[in-house]
A and B are shown apart, each in its own frame.
Chain A
Amino acid sequence: MTHLLEVRNLHTHFRTPGGGLVRAVDGVSFSLDRGETLGIVGESGSGKSVTSLSIMRLLSKPAGFIAGGEIHLDGRDLLAMSEREMRRVRSKEIAMIFQDPMTSLNPVVPVGRQIAEPLRVHMRMTPRQARGQAIELMGRVGIPEPHQRVDDYPHQFSGGMRQRVMIAIALTCNPKLLIADEPTTALDVTIQAQILELIRQLQAELEMAVIIITHDLGVVAGVADRVNVMYGGRIVESGPTDYIFEQPRMPYTIGLLRSVPRVDDDSDNRLVPIRGTPPDMGKPIVGCAFAPRCDHAHSRCLDAAPTLRTVAPDHRAACHFDITLDTPTTAAPSVPAIEWGGVSSNP
């Protein structure tokens, strides 16, 4: 059986006003099966959001464009589709929710009508049917008293409830794939727990595949079956969630896990940060993008970018060396460290 989603060697670039080119996504390949949850982890600028926008073909034009690669959904190439066909895919097959629901909701339209709109347009429901279905969906995503709240406006809802409204809209057409881009970043922890629980529960009921994009390793650990770690526009490690967290093989993943303060850690140990700053995507990256910050880097890392290779069954990492959690970090790195002065933006 083919995968539900297959991304092959995706390259997404942005032209900058100064005539430069940002390779936001630089050769990304992965697949996703039906009912599976994939976590994409990375820092700002790693290409995680651009990957999902590329799948939806929602890049801001004309600056952003897909420079190469293939994206197959159920065996059909999304990049070869007309805009008309693509709209069908967005309405019936892939749904997306974002970090800030307030910017995706229309402030002057009651939420019930916003949920009903896709039902009327795509499912050809009558206004009455659509309204009934909207109320049912609101109940399903845990909005209390949906009958009373269906005519309320977005500003009358709290952040968590707005995200529930977004999820209700996303569910209108029974999508096969839900892409959630930082769905809980703007929410408080107790509300985050509610929303993650809702996504988990709906996924089990509806057998949707989910891509959850986040910078929070804790969120991924709790919901994802598989994880892609992104850095500098590439996937640098990929595998089942347990492998990524228990036996990480890419120095960046190891560094991230070590640098996060954990609530279950009672020791007073100093955090072990990753030194330096993420790469400037406006400049071409030669070699491994992580090399300037890596404790294990050799001259080879600066010359040639490592390919994503299989390091264990079903587990791939992009590193020239066999680094594990047990590999001692060398005190003096063999590559000159970039000092704090690595200026990130253009002067």
Chain B
Amino acid sequence: MQPLVQVNDLKMHFPLRKGIVVQRQIGSVKAVDGISFDIDEGETLGLVGESGCGKSTAGRAILQVRKPTAGSVRFRGTELVGLGKAGMSVYRRHLQMIFQDPYASLNPRISVGEAIAEPIRVHGLRHGADVAQRVRELMEMVGLSQSMMTRYPHEFSGGQRQRIGIARALAVEPEFIVCDEPVSALDVSIQAQVINLLEDLQQRLNLTYLFIAHDLGAVKHVSNRIVVMYLGKIVEIADSVEIYRRPLHPYSKALVSAVPVPSPKLERKRSRILLNGDLPSPINPPSGCRFHTRCPIAIKRCATEEPPLVEHGSKHKAACWMI
């Protein structure tokens, strides 16, 4: 079966310019620097990594929110890179996004019902009175009462606003949704509500998700497979249980060991792999393996040769010379 989304050697570089009148490019931020993976239909692929690793940029590049520098993104076999605005508008409907802060993406002067109706009208999916009927349906689907249609964004709590964001994304009947930190801004007790809602909707509507988050517990819970990124590169891809049970890459190991577990007994027994220092700058990333400057097991070769992402067991890939 053909994967729903195929990402191949995707790159997103942002130019760094200097000068006021004549701007010269003095370098570039390699936010995403050659990533490849497939997402199957109905699957949730988790994308984790620390701030600055390029995970959000990757999500945006896949949806063509910004034109990628290089590489290919195929949706049901069709190449999206280079489609142009007009060509892309056909596919926009099928590819949607849910953001961390739905308040920022809602117009404060437009009622929630109108906000959800807008994409339906823009894409001409319903007409006349059917639009309102569809809005009611969507609100019910995300657990909001229909009576709230006429209310404005500020009248809603954070969790409810995220539900509105989800309803807007669903309004155009998409197949693939990039969820960029969808629960990070929510209170702990509300996060589980939204995660359950996303899972229910996936079942009901046969959705495919790319779930981007820094909360490894949430990502593990919702994802079938997980991609770990470090400084614009993929360091490991594996089944979600596998990556926590048997992480292969030293960075994944450190990441998994650093996540606190809400159990004092387990916390006392766990040993943490503490990494030295901070994330290096993506403007001038380290040579060879990008992780070698912080890696506890790095050898000479790591500083000069970049390790390829290779298979280690079924569906488990990692990029490290020391495995």
Q: A residues near B, CB below 8 A? A: 43-44, 144, 158, 160-161, 188-194, 196-197, 215-222, 241-242, 245-246, 255-257, 259-266, 270-275, 277-278, 293, 339-345, 347
Contacts and interface: CB of A to CB of B under 8 A. Distances in A.
Interface string B227-260: 0000000000000010011000000001111111
Contact of A263 (B147, B154, B216): B216
A202 to B, nearest CB: 15
What size tier do the contact residues of chain B reach?
Answer: 35 or more
A245 B268 CA distance: 13
A44 B244 contact: no
A43 B244 CA distance: 28
Contacts of B130: none
B192 A273 contact: yes
Interface in B142-189: 143-145, 147-148, 151, 154-157, 159-160, 163, 187-189
A168 to B, nearest CB: 17
Given A221-B263, A242-B264, A188 B187 contact: no
A263 B261 CA distance: 7
Given A161-B278, A246-B265, A345-B154, A266 B245 contact: yes
Nearest to A240: B264
Nearest to A215: B188
A313 B33 CA distance: 57
Which of B154, B189, B218, B222 counts the most chain A CB atoms within 10 A?
B189
A189 B264 contact: no
Nearest to A41: B188
B145 A260 contact: no
Contacts of B89: none
B183 to A, nearest CB: 10
B221 interface: yes
B258 A192 contact: yes
Contact of A345 (B155, B220, B258): B155
Interface stretch (B14-22, B77-85, B269-277): B269-277
Given A190-B258, A261-B220, A263-B261, A341 B147 contact: yes
A189 B263 CA distance: 17
Contact of B143 (A264, A274, A340): A340
A141 to B, nearest CB: 14
A217 B262 contact: yes
B51 interface: yes
B202 to A, nearest CB: 12
A242 B264 CA distance: 6
